[in-house]
Amino acid sequence: MEKILKKINGCFFSLGGGTGARKASAGDVSGRRALREKLKCKSFRWYLENIYPESQMPLDYYYLGDIRNVETDNCLDTMGRKSGEKIGSSYCHGLGGNQVFAYTKRHQIMSDDNCLDAAHAMGPVNLVRCHGMQGNQEWVYDNEDLTIKHVNSGNCLTRPTREDPSMPLLRPCNYSRGQQWRMTSQFKWQANGHDHDQENDIERT
């Protein structure tokens, strides 16, 4: 069990997995590690890419978790809305669900099958079914200034206004706290390119 969960437990907890699982012990797996080395087993990533490519495991994600505004301390939230409806913002509850977003190597910000999509340079941001062709769905997150920039418009995702305190907007980038967002989960997946350290790569099939 530990062979696989070592790599994917971050995904599990980012999706709102129970806290009790964090305390569970895998026991002594030294025998399994020795057997893995002896048999020269393939990595879990190899299995997902070659045997089970239809898996929903996030091989292409830079980040998975909540997205928190620095000024308001609220999180992006789908509010359970469907494709074509506006993205929301609400109190960060830390339970996953509607506040779990993936930032992918295609520069999408995803929630299930929907992506953040901005058709207007100064307008609201919608949830639209992901099409994988960038355009209105391409975003760049800057780890240093903490901005989420919409590539097509060049504007930044901005906290909601007082007129509608639950609706984030696109506005010209001014790098204020209202335009800063934290992606703070410890979950970092394969898109970072650090999956080839065999010494630590214990999740072999």
CA separation for the pair 151, 157 (Å, rounded): 11
Residue 135's contacts (CB-CB under 8 Å, 6 or more residues apart) are 152
| Topology adopted by domain 61-182 | Trefoil (Acidic Fibroblast Growth Factor, subunit A) (2.80.10)
CA separation for the pair 75, 72 (Å, rounded): 9
Host H or E run for residue 91:
strand 88-91
Task: List where CATH 1.10.8.460 sits in the chain.
Answer: 2-58
pLDDT in tens, 63-89: 888 999 999 999 999 988 989 999 999
CA separation for the pair 96, 16 (Å, rounded): 4
Report if pTM > 0.75: no
pLDDT in tens, 84-142: 999 999 999 888 889 999 998 889 999 988 999 999 999 899 999 998 888 999 999 99
Q: What is the CATH number of domain 2-58?
A: 1.10.8.460
Task: List where CATH 2.80.10.50 sits in the chain.
Answer: 61-182
* Residue closest to 146 by CA, chosen among 178, 110, 193: 178
Rounded to the nearest angstrom, the gap between the alpha carbon of residue 18 and the centroid of all alpha carbons in its chain is 18
Does residue 149 contact residue 140 with C-beta atoms inside 8 Å? Answer: yes
